[in-house]
Structure 1
Amino acid sequence: MVRTQDLSRPVVVGLQTLAVAAAYFAAGRLGLLRQLVVEGAVFTPIWPPTGIALAGLLIFGLRCWPGITLGALLIVMSITKFGADLLGNLIGGTAAPICSYLMLRKVGFRTDLSRLRDGLALVFLGAFTGMLISATTGVCLLVATGKLAADDFWTVWPAWWVGDAMGVLIVTPLLLVLHGARWPPHFSRWKEALGVALIACVFVPLATLSSVSLMFLVYPLLIWVALRFQLAGSMLCALFASVMATIAATDEIGPFAGLNHVQVMFKLQAFNGSMALTALLLSAVIVEQHNTRRSVERACQELAEVLEHLTAGETPPGRPPRPEQSRGGPHGLE
């Protein structure tokens, strides 16, 4: 039995590593479908592989980090020739989610995102702080190799950083929710969910593709979905809105028409970032309040049962019976 377990463990780790690499590569190819060019540097407004990488580390542990490097290597080899600057990008792309994972572990992060502190930790440690490594490494290498002018550093760096952070803010929570969900799911409000999906399919394209600036229409819908369907619903809505806004920005249509590349970049990243923050933090607050209310209800129910048994002169369930008092003297003699 011990030998079987010893043999199966490397196989499981290997399969998990390959799964992370395959998901990283697939997400990277999807992210490359929409790109923006700022000062000659090409970047993706949302880089999903960072979310895949951090989610894989949180679910499988630190042992799956080679899958991140392998996935990044496959993406690089599929689009260009491998060079010294790309080696630095591989190191930065691997180190960033690992540092995010270690920081989240340090503060006691829970993958169910059931507390506001978990949402704040994912935002400020997992996304904003951890992704500083990949963005700084990548842009510095562009400057060092002469592919980017030093004067353009602070124009390209925010775009790279926010793109990596958006992958964490949108993709990681969704994967964590799917991993912790019960299967098959119980759709108690499937009619409402279908209605919300239909409304989203109408209002989100209208808000992001219309020549009139109507992107603010997404926020009431996002709040409604967060109140009714918590994290799973709000992150799906945020993902859909981000994808539609990215399509409009890269095609330079709708609210992004007539803007230069830098203006498009800042407007898109401001919209995506604020929407992802709203969905994640609002959902975390709602889930925490629901959990607190359920805990209070359980405590009140247990207290009511105890009072009921005490009133009836019975011993409450789960409590040891009280010792009977002797009728006689101190030694129990009559």
Structure 2
Amino acid sequence: MRRSPVLRGLVFAGASAVAVSFPLALGRFLWPQGLSAGAEFIFWPASGVNVAGLLILGWRYWPAILCGILPAWLFFDQSLAHSALGAAGNIMEALACWWILHRFGHFDGRFDRVRAVIALCGAALLAPFICSLTVPAYLVLNGTYPRAEFLQAISNWNLANGAAILVLTPFLLALRQRVWTCRERPLETLAWIGAGVGLGLFAFNAVFRFHGENYAFLVFPFVIFAATRFDPPETTVALVLVLATIYGALVVAAGALPAGDVPAIAWFTQAFLWVLAATGLSMAALTAERRQSDHRAHIEQTRSLEASLREARARLDSLRYQVNPHFLFNTLNSIRSLTLTEPSKARDLISHLASFCRRALAPATEPLIPLHEEWTALTDYLAMEKARWESRLQIETQLDPALAGVRVPPLLLQPLVENAVKYGQRTTPLGVLHLHVTAAREDSTLVILVANTGRWVQPVATPDHTSTLVGLNNVRARLAVCYSTQASLTFTEEPGWVRATLRIPFHTLSAS
């Protein structure tokens, strides 16, 4: 359900007011005596909330940030002028971030691009100076801060605001979009969160108890794992968990932390989280861009393969329809002759012709067909040739039953048999052509042999298109399309015989 603009503005104003109240309340709870240079803020969550609010709702919602005046003025003893100046600084800071992200980062609602993350880092570095210069200057001028603490205040305030922008702004946008890949790996996600919380509490408890600042770097693998294993939204969760463990460890260790050391330890923690957030977000964006690039490359490769497949099928269809029409004329002439003398044979011949044409001319749904279907088409063709040549053609065929389901290109054998009949009749000395067609397996190869009596004659192109050269080239072209260079067609001549041998490795074949 879509909220009204007024309701959205009120929600934004309430979130901004809560974000202002949290660090003020925490500072008063942990250090009721107060700290120098505003270090009690540690982080300023309002900066991240305000920037996220403007990015989500639009820059025209900036008046909602003014609600941050109320809690600071009413509940935390700040003067109205101080609270108003702080709210004005927060507004200008949020508007500056909004402008930088849109002007330089080409922001589109997500931080999954390196350009957007770099713009966010730049905004988190530059925009906080609006608050960190104006408010401490005002406090120094009215005597709240001593002049000696002015530079310390600028440093602490700038990092407090900048770190909050880097951590909370991407997180709140991810929270609104609700796109989490970690849901697909619940056990891994729970282990990752548990490890991160444990490492964070241990590391920052050690930092705040002065066991060594290097302990803080224990949380780096936790964030980097999220950046490389998951997506940018999960990286923002990791950063928020680190921020939560910092606050948790601070509450536990506050009693052992001398007030005079808080500004320095706060500055280190702020700077560390700033660098951690910038590193994690940048690596997450780089990983996301690489994944997107790989995905686009995969899509392009798939499209290219599909286009190649369509092209190959189109070529196969084109080649498949290049059936020499000359044999059709001869067959029709044979039928005409038989209709007067032997009508039953004419009817059989018409049946064979219809069956052959149906297989030859019907649109192909698959580029390959079972060998037994190809053998049936060959049988129809041979029946037509037998009707034409009668006793002058003796045919013998043999198909290994185990090979019946092997898939081959359609009409692969007809051009070979047509070539054998045409030139075998011309070169067979006794006038009777013997034709043998066999299909067998030799080791890991399908071998189809078309042997005929006679001599080898090299087919040549003819103006009347009666040459079998087109058909033989057709066979070679379809073998190349289907099997690349792995299949072969060779012709050999032996005394009194010509053999056409077709070889296709079995690893390129499929069975039905």
1:221-253 Cα distance to aligned partner (Å, 9 max, x none): 221122122222222222222232244446656
Deviations 1:87-131 (A, max 9, x none): 222211111101111221212123211211111101112x11111
Structure-to-structure mapping, 1:81-96, within 5 angstroms: 81-96=78-93
Matches within 5 A, 1:33-182: 33-35=25-27, 38-39=35-36, 41=38, 43-107=40-104, 108-125=106-123, 127-182=124-179
Give the Cα separation in 2 of the matches to 1:201 and 1:116: 27
* Residue 199 of structure 2 is aligned to residue 203 of structure 1: yes
**Amino acid in the other structure paired with 2:277:** A
**Which deviates the most, 144-153 or 190-199?**
144-153
Over 3 Å counting, the alpha-carbon distance change for 1:226 and 1:144 in structure 2 is same
Q: CA deviation at 1:80?
A: 2.1
Q: What do the CA deviations read for 1:168-188 (whole angstroms, capped 9, x no partner)?
A: 1110010111222349x7821
Correspondence 1:28 to 2:20 = yes
Structure in which a larger fraction of residues adopt helix: 1
Provide Cα deviations, 1:305-333, integer angstroms capped at 9, x if missing partner. Answer: 1111111118xxxxxxxxxxxxxxxxxxx
Kindly report which structure 2 residues correspond to 1:244-255, keeping only aligned pairs within 5 A, or say none: 244-249=245-250, 252=253
CA-based RMSD: 2.6
- Checking the alignment, whether the CA contact within 8 Å between 1:24 and 1:72 is kept in structure 2 is no
Q: CA deviation at 1:260?
A: 1.8
- Relative distance call for 1:73 and 1:263 in structure 2 (3 A) is same
Are the counterparts in 2 of residues 44 and 163 from structure 1 also a CA contact under 8 Å? yes
In structure 2, the partner of 1:14 is 6
Deviations 1:241-300 (A, max 9, x none): 223224444665699679723321222222222222222111111111111111111111
**Aligned with 2:67: secondary structure?**
helix
Aligned position for 1:286: 287
Q: Which deviates more, 158-167 or 206-215? A: 206-215
Figure out how many residues of one structure are paired with residues of the other and give that number: 303
* Residues 205/81 of structure 1: CA separation in 2 closer, same or farther (3 Å cut): closer
Alignment of 1:224-243 (within 5 A): 224-243=225-244
2:386 alignment counterpart: none
The question of whether the paired residues in 2 share the 8 Å contact of 1:47 and 1:167 is answered with yes
Distance, in Å, in 2 between the alignment partners of 1:115 and 1:196 is 24
Q: Secondary structure at the match of 1:80?
A: coil
Point out where structure 1 has 5 or more consecutive residues left out of the alignment: 1-8, 315-334
Q: Which runs of 5+ in 2 are unaligned?
A: 316-512
Q: 31-40 or 15-24: which moved more?
A: 31-40
Any conservation in 1 of the 2:38–2:157 contact (CA below 8 Å)?
no
What residue identity is the alignment partner of 2:48? Answer: G
Q: TM-score, normalised by structure 1?
A: 0.82
**Structure 1 residues 182 and 251: CA distance shift in structure 2, 3 A:** closer
Tell me the SS of whatever aligns to 2:287.
Answer: helix
Q: Please give the alpha-carbon distance, in whole angstroms, between the structure 1 residues aligned to 2:307 and 2:173.
A: 38
Partners of 1:114 and 1:93 in 2: how far apart?
A: 26
Instruction: Find the aligned partners of 2:154 and 2:55 in 1 and give their Cα distance.
Output: 27
Which deviates more, 220-229 or 28-37? 28-37
Contact persistence 1:234–1:283 (CA under 8 A): yes
Alpha-carbon offset, residue 158 of structure 1:
0.7
Over the matched positions of the two proteins, sequence identity in percent amounts to 22
Q: Matched residues in 2 for 1:306 and 1:248: separation?
A: 59
Question: Could you tell me how far apart the structure 1 residues matched to 2:70 and 2:175 are?
Answer: 27
Match of 1:148, SS state, is coil
1-structure distance, mates of 2:230, 2:152: 38
Query: Partner of 1:32: helix, strand, or coil?
Result: helix
2:452 maps to none
Greater strand share, structure number = 2
Relative distance call for 1:252 and 1:106 in structure 2 (3 A) is: same
Q: Which amino acid aligns with 1:216?
A: F
Query: Normalized against structure 2, the TM-score is what?
Result: 0.55
